[in-house]
């Protein structure tokens, strides 16, 4: 089951450090780690993200396994909320 998130991506059309948002879909089975992305919160406070984002918004870096390599993306939302959406904290009980 794919999970929809909002990714923060750098605007490649300009030479500045501006960032845009876009919807992405992630397979949670390929996520190997999540952690808060404090750097992106600093970028928000310095005005590099779209103006309509609440200044209290949190960001999370999601690490995705791709076999030989991996990628990391920054998504909108606190690490705890993103982890819940991805089902990382759900426990599978063994049926005996």
Task: Read off the pLDDT of each residue in 63-78 and give the average, rounded to a whole number.
Answer: 91
Interior/surface letters 39-69, b for 16+ CB within 10 angstroms, e for the rest: ebbebbeeebbeeeeeeeebbbbbebeeeee
Q: Is the pLDDT of residue 38 over 60?
A: yes
* Residue 91: pLDDT over 90: no
Q: Give the mean model confidence (pLDDT) for residues 4-26.
A: 89
Burial of 7 (0-12, 13-18, 19+ CB in 10 A): middle
Tell me the two tokens of residue 61.
């870096």
pLDDT at site 6: 97
In this predicted structure, what is the pLDDT of residue 90?
57
> CA-CA distance, 51 to 62, in Å (whole number)?
23
Q: CA-to-CA distance for 7 and 4, rounded, in angstroms?
A: 10
Q: Give the angle subtended at the CA of 61 by the CAs of 58 and 67, to the nearest 5°.
A: 160
Q: What is the dihedral of CA 40, 46, 48, 51, to 10 degrees?
A: 110
What is the band of 13 on the pLDDT scale with cuts at 50, 70, 90?
A: confident
Predicted pLDDT at 11: 84
Contacts of 46 (CB under 8 A, 6+ apart): none
- In this structure, of 33-37, 74-78, 84-88, the range with the lowest mean pLDDT score is 84-88
């Amino acid at each position: 089951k794919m999970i929809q998130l909002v990714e923060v991506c750098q605007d490649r059309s300009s030479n500045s450090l501006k960032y845009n948002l876009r919807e992405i879909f992630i397979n949670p089975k390929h996520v190997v780690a999540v952690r808060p992305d404090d750097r992106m919160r600093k970028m928000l406070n310095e005005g590099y993200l779209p103006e309509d984002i609440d200044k209290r918004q949190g960001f999370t870096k999601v690490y995705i396994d791709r076999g030989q390599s991996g990628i990391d993306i920054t998504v909108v939302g606190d690490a705890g909320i993103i982890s819940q959406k991805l089902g990382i904290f759900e426990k599978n009980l063994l049926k005996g």
